[in-house]
Every structure is written in C-alpha cells, then in structure tokens.
Amino acid sequence: MDTSQEQEGEHKEEGEEKYLPKDLPKVLPSDVDRDQEQYQHYNQVKTVLSWSAHGRPYIPRGRQFYMTALLITFLIAVILFLFSQYLLMVLVAALVFMGFAFSLIPPRNFHYRMSTEGVTIEDHFYLWRELYDFYFKRKEDVDFLHIRTEDVFPGELIISLGDMHRDQVIKAILPYLPYREVIKPTFMERSGEWLYKNFPLEKNS
C-alpha cells in the first residue's frame, strides 16, 4: 500500500510539473528597486527654470513728467467739457491717476517658475497644454516674455525676465511650446511708440 501511494504521488508531481512553465525569470530585489526608481523618475515634477523679477517695468519720473501730464489732462478735460462729455472726463482722470500711481509706487518682485508640467507665477499655475506659444518684447530696456493661452482669458501671460537671458528661457520652454520669432506690432502699439518718441513727457537726462 505504501509503495502504491508513493508511486501515485510521484505520478501526480510529474503531471503537475509537466504543465508548469519552465525557466521562470527570477525577480531579484535589485530589479524591483530599479523599477521603482524609474517609475519615480518618470513621474517626478522637475523645475526647469526659476527666477525673481519686477512684475512690470518701472522708471522713476521727475517733476517735469507730472507737470506735463497734468497740463495735457487739463487741456483734454476742457475740450471734453465744451462738448459735454462728462463721462469721458471721469475716464481720463481715472487713467491719469492710475498712471501716476504706477509711476510713484515701485513694483514688487514676482517669483516665476517653469517645470516639466507648466508655468507658475506666484500662486497661479498654468499647464503646458493650456498654453499656445511664446515670444519676447522689450519695454523700458527690460525683456518681457509673452505666453499666449488657449483660452480667451487671461489670453496672454506677461513675465518680466529681469536678469534672465532670452536664450535660457527659449531653451527651457521650446520642448513644450512653439517659439514665435517675429510679432507684428498692432496699430495701438505703433501709435504709442510714435507718440512716446515725438512727444515725450519729460526730457531724458
């Protein structure tokens, strides 16, 4: 009886081994660790570029600037008063007040960060898929990065480069967004540039 049972057990083991896959790969602890490292590497958010700069261009103005601006505002207000355009008078006064505020109050520094996922401006974050393309403009001897968005609002992100060079920014953003090298200025931009050059509110020192 014992021999027959042993033979039956051997036959069962042979039958089971027949259906088992042969040469199973051995999983070593080092392989598991390496796979986990690769997974973390592919899913890790990395900072590509970060810097701090003023939120807008700023140039300290002299007394001549404010006196000339007030004189022009007064002349415009008189003309509008003669035509009974009182709402436009209020609008002009509000615009002049805002311009004076921007000239008197220096801007604070903003922190900008570009990662593998998107662009961060202070507490606002934008994914790369929410952005369209980018280009540069120079205002008051400062380079500004313009990033257009897919949605109508905000439409465009304007970022001051400060001491950051354009080539560094292009190298960081180009894998994610197309670079528009030439941007044709609008009519309003050309008009403002012409007025700024031909009718300055103060003489350059």
CATH number, domain containing residue 133: 2.30.29
If we measure between CA atoms, which residue out of 122, 121, 175 comes closest to residue 145? 121
Note the pLDDT tens digit of each residue in 11-50. Answer: 544 454 454 455 545 544 555 455 554 444 456 889 999 9
* Residue at 190 is within a domain: no
Please indicate whether residue 134 or residue 197 has the higher confidence score (pLDDT): 134
> Phi and psi dihedrals of 174, rounded to 5?
-55, -35
* Residue at 196 is within a domain: no
Of the chain, the percentage scoring pLDDT greater than 90 comes to: 46
Note the pLDDT tens digit of each residue in 139-179. Answer: 878 899 999 999 988 899 999 998 899 999 999 999 999 99
Strand order, beta sheet including 109-115: 47-54, 109-115, 118-121, 124-127
> Phi and psi dihedrals of 25, rounded to 5?
-70, 140
pTM of the predicted protein model: 0.67
What pLDDT is stored for residue 129 in this prediction? 95
Note the pLDDT tens digit of each residue in 59-83. Answer: 778 888 889 889 999 999 999 999 9
- Domain count of the fold of the chain: 1
* Residue at 80 is within a domain: yes
Range of the domain at 160: 47-183
